[in-house]
Every structure is written in C-alpha cells, then in structure tokens.
Amino acid sequence: MFTRAIGAMAENIEDKEMIDEVLQRLAYRHLRLDIDDKDLKVATDIFVKEMGSSGDKVWQAAFDKMNPRIGKYMKDLEKAGVS
C-alpha cells in the first residue's frame, strides 16, 4: 500500500485532492494497525535511513509535509469513532 500511495502521489503531484485522499487512506490504515501519530516520525526516520543517502533529504522533506496531515486525519478518525 505504501509504495502504491507514494507512486500515486508522485504521478499526480499537482492534484491536491487526490493526494489528500491518499493521505486519508494512509491515516485509516495506520489507525487500523494501531499506529499512533507519534509513531509516524519513528517509522519515517527508519525508512529514510534505509533509503541511504540517495535522496534522504528529499524523502525527509516529503515526510515532514505528509506526517502532520496523516496525524490530523488519524485524530479525526478517532474522534469519529473509527478504528
């Protein structure tokens, strides 16, 4: 799911509504896996480290933008009683 989501966002970088939908889906998936918004930073740090120096700044910048949005959607879902 993650690589498909990243690919979809990269292919449609100008389509903010589509990117927003992908981030909402990721938030739902994370919530279902019992991952909280604090875990997002830990997970992305591991991902960036595993990617190596071949683009770590680009990935880190992308995650710095995505994680707060995903965290917000996770909280919205929790408030709505979705888990």
Answer yes or no: CATH 1.10.490.10 is held by domain 2-79.
Answer: yes
Enter the pTM of the model: 0.67
What's residue 44's pLDDT? 81
Please indicate whether residue 22 or residue 52 has the higher confidence score (pLDDT).
22
Rounded Cα distance, 41 and 45, in Å: 6
Q: Does 54 score more than 80 pLDDT?
A: no
- The per-residue pLDDT for range 2-49, each reduced to its tens digit, is 677 777 777 777 888 888 888 898 889 888 888 888 888 888 888 777
The DSSP-derived string for 51-82 is HTTSSHHHHHHHHHHHHHHHHHHHHHHHHTT-
Rounded Cα distance, 83 and 77, in Å: 7
Where in the chain are the domains? 2-79
What's residue 72's pLDDT? 92
Please indicate whether residue 49 or residue 76 has the higher confidence score (pLDDT).
76
Residue 18 has which token pair? 């589509």
